[in-house]
Amino acid sequence: MNTKRAHASHILIPSKSQATQLTEKIQNSRKPLKEFQKMARKHSTCPSSQKGGDLGWFHDKQMVKEFSDAVWTQQIKTVGPYIKSGFGYHIIFVHERDE
């Protein structure tokens, strides 16, 4: 059984320009996680937006490949570069990982 799990949040948005703007705003914030949660509530099209983008814990195979790849390569407790999937553009914040 696969035990590779992560706890992450994301902001899902339809446009590349908006992804660029929000990523810069969050990365330049003095409190990136607070800013991330605020932006998720305001802009994300995912139902997780109500929880500040929090997706909870999940296994690597539960998410689309592009998203999973980013979650397992991105530094913990940072906002990495946005990624594109079939759903749109994702800005990801990785809280923790079990590997």
pLDDT tens across the length of the chain (99 residues): 557 999 999 999 999 999 999 999 999 999 999 999 999 999 999 999 999 999 999 998 899 999 999 999 999 999 989 999 999 999 999 999 997
* Residue 60: predicted pLDDT: 86
User: What is the CA angle 92-96-3, rounded to 5?
Assistant: 110
Give the integer Cα–Cα distance in Å for 98 and 83.
22
* Residue 2: predicted pLDDT: 58
- Residues 44, 47, 51, 52, Cα dihedral to 10°: -10
* Residue 1: predicted pLDDT: 53
Give the integer Cα–Cα distance in Å for 28 and 7.
23
pTM of the model: 0.93
